[in-house]
Amino acid sequence: MKKRDFKDSLYEGIAGITKAFSNANRLEIIDLLANGEKTVEQIALQTAISISNASQHLKALKTSRLVKSRRDGQFIWYSLNGVKVMSAWQALRDLAMEHAPDVQNTLQQFRVSLGNAQSVSFQREYDNTSVFFLDVRPVDEFAAGHLPNAQSIPVDELPSRMAELPRDKTIITYCRGPFCSLADEAVQLLIANGFKAMRLEEGFLDLTLLSRS
């Protein structure tokens, strides 16, 4: 193999993987699957696309070996094909948040519209006597992994379960990361009901990867 053919082959192979990332729906699916495996029906529901479209996107991701699947009875479950896929998505997301003004502005405008203009970053020195971590993701994602001592209350159950929350602590909500709106919705609801609440900027997977670095 000639040197030029060698280099072309390598970079074309890498470009093939990047093509799998070059679709907004597929990026959201990767972000979703980072929090635990899902069926195509769950993915379609949570990304607001049709089952047919979700299947096509999953096929493209699987062809690029970014996603893997397993069959359990009548259902096929999809998950990310290794932690490096999540790391690649995280790096791309963070690059956009730093260098893409449209991404920055959209995120800020959304949070301002909900009255949640500020967020907090995770700090190991948080005093558990003054803060209360609330995981507002679906219960299956909480079961797949969560912050120590966090309480699971999915955001759609929050209105009926507020009695379970302490009023003498700051409630810090978290979900799938900076692009996830569940924590913002929870903060808005909690503040409206007299709680002191803030959202955590990072998601559980972000903190897991950070601890490994």
Catalytic positions, written as ranges: 175
Asked if residue 177 lies in contact with residue 207, where contact means CB atoms within 8 angstroms, the answer is no
For tokens 């803030």, name the residue: 198
- What whole-number distance in Å separates Cα of residue 206 and Cα of residue 49? 25
Asked if residue 190 lies in contact with residue 111, where contact means CB atoms within 8 angstroms, the answer is no
Q: 130-165 burial, b if ≥16 CB within 10 A, otherwise e?
A: ebbbbbbbbeebbeeebbeebbebbbeebeeebeeb
Instruction: Give whole-number Cα distances, 194 to 150, 182, 208, in Å.
Output: 21, 19, 31
SS3 (DSSP) at 129: coil
